[in-house]
Amino acid sequence: MNPFEDMRIFCQVMDSGSFTAAADQLGLSKQFVSRRLMQLEERLGVRLLNRSTRRLDVTPLGQSYYESALRLLGEVEQVEQGIAGQTAEPRGTIRVSAPLSFALAHLGCLLPLFLQRYRDVTVEVDLSDRPVDLLSEGYDLALRIGILEDSTLIARRIASIERVYCASPAYLAERGTPLKPEDLHSHDCLPYGHGRQVQWRFAGQGKPLAVNVTGRMRVNNGELLKDAAIAGMGITYLPTFIVGAALKDGRLVPVLDDFRPEPLTLSAVYPQHRQGSRPVRALIEFLRERLDRADDIL
């Protein structure tokens, strides 16, 4: 077996979290996988994994080897795809990380259409609002909303996402409608996330304005905040892909529209070694095609 196959086995063990799961996915025996990794460690003269009866722990050198192996295997795949010809249909598996609420709103209907168009592509989707580490966790692509941190990842814009301040008609009838951001000091707010202090930012006539907001409920999930706002618990600030339907049917009413900040950007980010992947490029272009023209639902 050549070194590239050893790399693939090691990366599959890292992605799967165990020898047994990796062996099942590779169609090999657990003993064969374990033996190949022991021989790999002997050849390199380092320990890549600390083994115990319950789990595998990667060593610092093992983590470094994993990230380098992912990049190298990606480059090999890119070369093979280039040789196969640019007219070939995309094929292979894409591991995607996406924000939970956005995925529930859009990917459930879009991914089946994508897979119908590209019959030889398989998609594995992990829904999480945390910023995953694409290299160390083995993702090919991540969808992210907002400002991107500086990194070696490549980013492609997919669409713009509007956010809106809103509350239920019953809440506003009881507590009054805020006319300027400072009025929120006398209101119950429903902020996203955790922490002792939350600031909402507003577009002003001069410089942007930040206002500290408080309330009796704080959640790191937009769907729960929307439901709480509909129930009259306070004013919330959420993307329109979460509250759009409630705004259309009147369960929620927008407030402070004159002070909305600029829209957020939905981006697709991926490691440099995946920029030649035809399935990754195909999925990005498909999402741009479907979402960039869907301003009414974003």
269: Cα within 13 Å, side-chain hemisphere? 23
pLDDT in tens, 230-266: 999 999 999 999 999 999 999 999 999 989 888 889 9
The answer on 285 and 215 residing in a single domain is no
Q: What is the CATH number for 73? A: 1.10.10.10
Distances 45 to 31, 39, 41 between C-alpha atoms, Å:
21, 10, 6
User: Residue 253 domain-assigned?
Assistant: yes
Q: Is the same domain home to 241 and 106?
A: no
| Structure tokens belonging to residue 197 | 């202090």
Report pLDDT for 110: 93
Residue 296 has a pLDDT of 44
Q: How high is the pLDDT of residue 99?
A: 92
pLDDT recorded at residue 54: 64
Is 298 a member of any domain?
A: no
pLDDT of the residue at 124: 93
Residue where a domain terminates, one of 37, 54, 84: 84
Q: Is position 184 within any domain? A: yes
C-alpha closest to that of 166 among 196, 205, 143, 200: 200
Task: Mark whether 29 and 148 lie in a shared domain.
Answer: no
* pLDDT, tens digit (0-9, with 9 covering 90-100), for 89-101: 788 889 999 999 8
Please tell me the predicted confidence (pLDDT) of residue 167: 97
pTM for this predicted structure: 0.67
- Tell me the CATH number at 124: 3.40.190.10
Do both 138 and 168 map to the same domain? no
Residue 207 lies in a domain: yes
Residues 149 and 224 in one domain: no
CA–CA separation, 114 vs 6, rounded Å? 33
Residue 75 has a pLDDT of: 77
Instruction: Indicate if 234 and 187 belong to the same structural domain.
Output: yes
Q: Is the Cβ–Cβ distance between 226 and 236 less than 8 Å?
A: yes
Q: Tell me: do 224 and 248 sit in the same domain.
A: yes
8 A C-beta contact, residue 288 and residue 161:
no
Measure the CA–CA gap between 209 and 16, rounded to whole angstroms. Answer: 46
Task: Count structural domains, the chain.
Answer: 3
d(CA 265, CA 259): 18
What backbone torsions phi and psi does residue 200 show, to the nearest 5 degrees? -105, 140
Residue 32 belongs to domain spanning: 3-84
**Do residues 139 and 176 both lie within one domain?**
no
Residues of the chain with pLDDT under 50: 296-297
253 and 168 assigned to the same domain: yes
Could you tell me the two tokens for 153?
Answer: 């990842």
Identity at 173, one-letter amino acid code: A
